[in-house]
Structure 1
Amino acid sequence: MNLFTPVIPEARWHPLFKMILEGDYAPERDVFARWAQGFEDRDGKFVKEFQLSFESCLWELYLHASLKELSLPVDFSHHAPDFVIGGPRPFNLEATVAAPAAGGKPAYGWTKDDIPEDLNQFNVEAALRICNSFSYKLKRYKEHYATLPHVAGKPFVVGIGAFDRPLAHFAGLRPVVAAFYGLYHDEEATARDASEVVSYNVTSAPKNENVNIDVGLFCDDTYREVSAVVYSALATWGKVRAVADNPNAATLYTTIHPQAGTIYPKVLQRLKRDYSEHLLDGLVVLHNPFADHPLPDEVFDHPRVAQFRPDATGELIERAPDDFLQVRMLQSIVERDDQSEQSA
């Protein structure tokens, strides 16, 4: 599958596809080639969609690469869902992205004007987009996937990538934890000298003045058909650049990680030649404690993957690397009109 041989007119190319195709990005194109190894274009439309819409295909390729990294075998002989995983703990995984609302700005090409002034509103809107994508896939499961013999009786997982707005990656895990567990961490309400971030439970988020949307979707058995959600806000073009073998790139990586004993994160800055990132850094599995077919923790057991699961008392238990990658920003100087390229 040759992703970078154009199959649609240039006028229809996605801006990021055009940039990667025409720019000095051979190492990054190699990353896409590795991720695509073994991937089967079952309906013959994937290359076209990659060049046209890009981000949803990037997310699907990232999930494919992650499954390979976890040694989880994928059976592409079925037309759906996206990934039918075999082995000793079989399950099915359907990919989707949290996309911009109608008329909303795309995730790529952000400027300083896109930096949110109200972080809470930013997170609320992100949570709503996550819930919207999840609900669509649940509907698809009930209407179609659940009737398939290779799906019935097995865990069903929804993989959600965050591409819902400029700087979508900046929200980290705040919106997805609120969306599925009804727990919101409110930095804006937290005093600078506090020892803990202010947190509280939420059951809904305002879509507009008259409509509220339910959150905390894994707090009861309403969505028991879904076993877990696999999520990342960092499986973006920035991830491709981070794992590419391109040590001479003039790129500065700024990353944010937890820091023991304080609410303030650890902020690191490194040039590309000094920076390394694992494929699975930033990947999170959110388990549904009410699932009809629970997904065993062992399926995604990897030192770079974070997993969330409520215990019997309802307390949310987190297993994550101490240096979990919360946010990644990169800045590159490009030889083009003296402009600065910025990526997530």
Structure 2
Amino acid sequence: MDLTERIKDQAVTEGFSVCRICRPWDVPEVPTRLRAFLDAGYQGQMGWLEDRAQWRAAPQVLWPEAKSVIMLAENYGPEHDPLDVLAHHERAAISVYAQNRDYHDVVKKRLKRLARWLIDQAGGEVKVFVDTAPVPEKALGQAAGLGWQGKHTNLVSRELGSWFFIGSVFTTLDLDTDAAEVDHCGSCRACLDVCPTDAFPEPYRLDARRCISYLTIEHHGPVAENLRGLMGNRIYGCDDCLAVCPWNKFASRATEIKYHARDDLMAPDLAELALLDDAAFRARFSGSPIKRIGRNRFVRNVLYAIGNSGAPRLRGVAQSLVDDPDPTVADAARWAVLRLADVANTRSGSGD
């Protein structure tokens, strides 16, 4: 076996689902697309996208000595339908990827093991990345053949559907490369049409300022009132556009047990989550990606979900937080109280 084939075999041994290889400069379309995204203001409060644009636009600038990029996909497919919880308005919807351990830690350990193996086998220098560095991972994933960027801008695989993480190993070794994947979306619009907030101005373009994943995770401060009601009971991320993709017919449940949903995070009770103080929040979400947004932003999201629940019994929970020390939490609590008061008044007026 040549080195490239051995790398792919070793990647599977380390627990990755798919391994493909491209060059750092195989994404010439990225600078134009990134510039258009930033010029439109679609990044919202994610200023780091602008700050590191020169690296994100051209991976060869990030590390000029790199000659090859080993792109890895890791399956985190759910066993359950992630959209089922949306019908249970007094329960919280948490994105599938965040229902157990933080994938950054799991994937990075695998990447480092693969990188060490590669150095032992062939020498060279390596750098590993998973999501947190200014690397256009989705574009590189398509260039390497992992999948293609669908109309929702996420990577889709004919082997894994929508449910996979992406990691990369940059190396100074000159490796054989794979053919880029082509677009297989066709005329399908399922991901665009399901979006609750109309976050896609057009196919293949995302306005993050309207995306529920952005609003619940990256956005600081109060969410615009015209968007709060559209968030439903989604308190951390949103899987709608991923879950409806027809290519998920090829998806399978994650084999890594650290990605299997915790029972207490599949559909947790909104009232219970709203009453978490900082210590309880940190304890409950230790080792989870949810921990990084902090108690205040998390409870803000929960209160928006309570306001959208249509459950008058939750009004007292919201009322207990109207004087919260965090002004954004207090604002969300007042909004929820008013929403549920309107529900109660409507039901009373109709004789229900």
Give TM-score scaled by structure 2 length: 0.24
Larger Rg: 2
Give TM-score scaled by structure 1 length: 0.25
Q: Greater relative contact order: 1 or 2 (C-alpha under 8 angstroms, separation 6 or more)?
A: 2
